[in-house]
């Protein structure tokens, strides 16, 4: 009798395993940070690194195209663009965009509009809304912790601050030495 019950249990477990009893599947909504939230976060991050900034600065991209960059430093020659889907459709591949969040960031030199060649240069770092997505309404039985808007903003803030640290480590001292008579 025990052998029959054990065999029944074994067959039952095998059938369950074969039927895909791998847990509940969910279509989990993800949204990118909207541009207004991202711009506020970017300016906070710059301010935390003592970089004064202004929004919507006209620049010339490396290929000579005009563009309005989201944020540019006023006391440090850096610029940040937060590309949305609409931006990507307009700008195409005129500035390099990271394929994945863990790829080495691309930085390009652009020029403020109205400045002659060699002047008004800015180091541009592009962030894309594809890499800053959160889950606004995760199901309660979600197997892993969802990305909240606050966590995604913290990651964006940290990435901007890393960019500023990179700039200062690589270019700030040489720029200051060149400006000294």
CA geometry: angle at 139 spanning 14 and 151, to 5°?
A: 120
Residue 115 pLDDT > 80: yes
The answer to whether 126 and 156 have CB atoms below 8 angstroms apart is: no
Interatomic CA distance for residues 27 and 145, integer angstroms: 15
Residue 160 pLDDT > 50: yes
Give the residue-averaged pLDDT of 156-175: 88
**pTM assigned to the model:** 0.74
Residue 153 pLDDT > 80: yes
Write out pLDDT tens, residues 35-84: 999 999 999 999 999 999 999 999 998 888 899 999 999 999 999 999 98
Mean pLDDT estimate for the chain: 80
Q: Which pLDDT score, from 0 to 100, does residue 11 have?
A: 47
Interatomic CA distance for residues 122 and 161, integer angstroms: 16
Contacts of 128 (CB under 8 A, 6+ apart): 82, 83, 88, 97, 98
- Among 161, 100, 91, 90, residue whose Cα is nearest residue 133: 100
């Amino acid at each position: 009798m025990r052998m029959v019950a054990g065999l029944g249990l074994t067959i039952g477990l095998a059938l369950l395993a074969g039927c895909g009893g791998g847990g509940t599947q969910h279509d989990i909504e993800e949204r990118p940070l909207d541009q207004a939230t991202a711009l506020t976060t970017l300016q906070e991050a710059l301010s935390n690194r003592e970089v004064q900034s202004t929004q919507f600065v006209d620049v010339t991209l490396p290929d000579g195209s005009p563009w309005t960059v989201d944020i540019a430093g006023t006391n440090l020659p850096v610029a940040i663009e937060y590309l949305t889907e609409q931006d990507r459709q307009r700008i195409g591949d005129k500035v390099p965009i990271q394929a994945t969040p863990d790829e080495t960031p691309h930085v390009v030199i652009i020029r403020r509009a109205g400045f002659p060649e060699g002047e008004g240069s800015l180091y541009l770092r592009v962030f894309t809304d594809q890499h800053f997505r959160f889950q606004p309404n995760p199901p309660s039985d979600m197997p892993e912790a969802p990305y909240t808007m606050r966590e995604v903003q913290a990651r964006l803030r940290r990435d901007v601050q890393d960019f500023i640290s990179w700039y200062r480590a690589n270019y700030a001292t040489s720029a200051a030495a060149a400006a000294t008579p």
